[in-house]
Chains A and B, each alone.
Chain A
């Protein structure tokens, strides 16, 4: 049976996920994914009536249980410096990362 996730498609997924693998890892992961997909295929056989809606959550909320929207009131964070302190590279209060190349238009 043909693999659902081909090597080419796998490369595309790796691209989407911003990963990088050596050939052995890539092959191992690709095979594992295809194995798991066999389980997922069960979903195809489920008889789904038109009327069955997608459910983003299982529980239902009503107007009493639904949390309210937030009031537009300023709530300053007391330790933004500690948040910034977690960054691997900081300069003058900015977080630093390498550039993404541009191409000039002729």
Chain B
């Protein structure tokens, strides 16, 4: 039985988060709007209209190209890709064919094995989006709201080897897009769209066999499932003596299956030619430099740096570079704290992330600033408050906006570490629960936790846990 290897390439379309469309002044984001309301003569392809290029789309495209290690061409051209489709009002799409904005590029994808796979980019260009169609009762309903939204099309080489790797690529890509601020990268909203090219070959072989194209996968999970299904189908087909044909397949998420769309043999001849309504896109070196300076440290670079510089485990570093706001937050906190970064990491991973999730915001929107967090951590370190109080304090700072020290003072949250005071509380608790004291003395030492709880209740959570434990143990043993 032959061992097979999957060969996968991904074609992604990334919707740039500019304010307006690429060739006209309509909004780029019209997700919520009623159909055919965010249109104008230009994006609706009326007779006589002309495209005018959005400079922000160029800037974001260049930023993305730089982040993908691609060469940014100082002179690139737009071309017409001609074909008939109802959601393409002009009957052609303005795209870039042979001399596009980006040339080459790659993404270094970390694998679970620890290896880093270089996924090459073979195409990176700007183009305009088409409208949306929905199928119902044997008819198509067309909405042009999305026509003309700026897209970057990015195509990888056949460098991925499994559905999981493809999913990883998309996860890292999405992270990158949000990191550099060029797209929300939300697949469910269509900000990031993906078609997968899949073929198989005998393991160890280097030839490329006929591939199929999978379309309409609208989430990372759908990509994973669809690719797995297709690899399976191809293997079964080839094992039974069949031949893989260059089909285009449509993923049906509801039924988790693939349908054949159209045969590639009858693919349209797009008759590409230079778009005469646009002049060549010419960028200056100065402009290019200004874009490159805008490029921040990228997520995978920062992840590596956090592991090196802060001695963090990969798990932590990965989470702390999940998005740019949280990683900036972490780093600001570490710099202000000047202590063990792992301590900060724990606080953030355990408490801050949960808070962000509950509030549904990014770290840069927190009222609880890195400075506030440092103050709380230090108070716990110094024993001014206990751990539980510290955790609760975070929410209080976030809600009130007051500095932690002020809240501790106002609400009297300071830890009770006074021997005498604690001793008195412990005596009271023991007197009130003689049965439990007997049980403990007879061997049920697990009841210590329960006693701790009682003391905490009496002190409204402010008892110093370490000291309380010590004193309780002594008291229960009949000492002191």
Known: A56-B274, A80-B39, A83-B44. A97 touches B259 (CB 8 A): no
Question: Contact flags (1/0) for B193-213 with A, using CB distance below 8 Å?
Answer: 000000000000000000000
Q: Which residues of A contact B258 (CB under 8 A)?
A: 105
Closest residue on chain A to residue B249 by CB atoms: A105
Which residues between 139 and 177 of chain B lie within 8 Å of chain A, taking CB atoms? 139-144
Kindly state the separation between the CA atoms of A97 and B34 in the bound complex, as whole angstroms: 19
Kindly state the separation between the CA atoms of A24 and B324 in the bound complex, as whole angstroms: 67
Question: Contact flags (1/0) for B8-44 with A, using CB distance below 8 Å?
Answer: 0000000000111000111100000011111111001
Q: Which residues of B contact A56 (CB under 8 A)?
A: 274, 276
Q: Which residues of B contact A95 (CB under 8 A)?
A: 36, 86, 141-144
Q: Which residues of A contact B143 (CB under 8 A)?
A: 93-95
Known: A96-B142, A97-B86. A74 touches B20 (CB 8 A): yes
Is there an interface contact between B41 and A93, defined as CB atoms closer than 8 Å? no
Is there an interface contact between B139 and A73, defined as CB atoms closer than 8 Å? no
Q: Which residues of A contact B24 (CB under 8 A)?
A: 75
- Say whether B112 faces chain A, with CB atoms less than 8 Å apart: no
Q: Which residues of A contact B260 (CB under 8 A)?
A: 102-105
Interface segment out of the listed B47-55, B295-303, B365-373, B446-454 = B47-55
Range of interface residues on A (Cβ < 8 Å): 20 to 34
Q: Which residues of A contact B269 (CB under 8 A)?
A: 16
Is there an interface contact between B279 and A80, defined as CB atoms closer than 8 Å? no
Is there an interface contact between A92 and B35, defined as CB atoms closer than 8 Å? yes
Kindly state the separation between the CA atoms of A59 and B392 in the bound complex, as whole angstroms: 71
Closest residue on chain A to residue B27 by CB atoms: A74
- Say whether A44 faces chain B, with CB atoms less than 8 Å apart: no
Interchain CB contact (< 8 A) of A74 among B25, B84, B271: B25
Question: Contact flags (1/0) for A62-95 with B, using CB distance below 8 Å?
Answer: 0000111111111111001001100000011111
Chain A proximity of B263: nearest CB distance (Å): 9
Is there an interface contact between B26 and A77, defined as CB atoms closer than 8 Å? yes
Is there an interface contact between B261 and A102, defined as CB atoms closer than 8 Å? yes
- Say whether A41 faces chain B, with CB atoms less than 8 Å apart: no
- What does DSSP make chain A's interface, helix, strand, loop or mixed? loop
Interchain CB contact (< 8 A) of B135 among A16, A70, A99, A105: A99
Is there an interface contact between A72 and B19, defined as CB atoms closer than 8 Å? yes
Kindly state the separation between the CA atoms of A78 and B339 in the bound complex, as whole angstroms: 59
Known: A83-B46, A95-B36, A105-B249. A72 touches B139 (CB 8 A): no
Q: Which residues of B contact A28 (CB under 8 A)?
A: none
Which residues between 275 and 329 of chain B lie within 8 Å of chain A, taking CB atoms? 276, 279, 282
Kindly state the separation between the CA atoms of A67 and B55 in the bound complex, as whole angstroms: 12
- Say whether A21 faces chain B, with CB atoms less than 8 Å apart: no
Known: A80-B36, A105-B260. A94 touches B41 (CB 8 A): no
- Say whether B138 faces chain A, with CB atoms less than 8 Å apart: yes
A: residues with CB less than 8 A from B are 16, 18, 56-57, 61, 66-77, 80, 83-84, 91-100, 102-105
B: residues with CB less than 8 A from A are 18-20, 24-27, 34-41, 44, 46, 52-58, 84, 86, 134-135, 138-144, 247, 249-250, 257-261, 268-269, 271, 274, 276, 279, 282
Q: Which 6 A-B pairs have the closest CB atoms?
A: A75-B25, A77-B40, A72-B56, A94-B141, A69-B55, A105-B260
29 A-B contact pairs sorted by A residue (CB < 8 Å): A16-B269, A56-B274, A57-B279, A66-B279, A66-B282, A69-B54, A70-B53, A70-B54, A70-B55, A73-B20, A75-B24, A75-B25, A75-B26, A76-B25, A77-B26, A77-B39, A77-B41, A80-B38, A83-B46, A84-B36, A84-B39, A94-B142, A95-B36, A96-B139, A97-B142, A98-B138, A102-B250, A102-B259, A104-B260
Apart from the given pairs A56-B276, A83-B39, A99-B138, 19 other A-B contacts in the complex at a CB distance below 8 Å: A57-B276, A61-B279, A68-B55, A70-B55, A72-B19, A72-B20, A73-B19, A75-B25, A77-B41, A84-B39, A93-B37, A94-B36, A95-B86, A95-B141, A95-B143, A96-B140, A96-B141, A97-B142, A105-B257
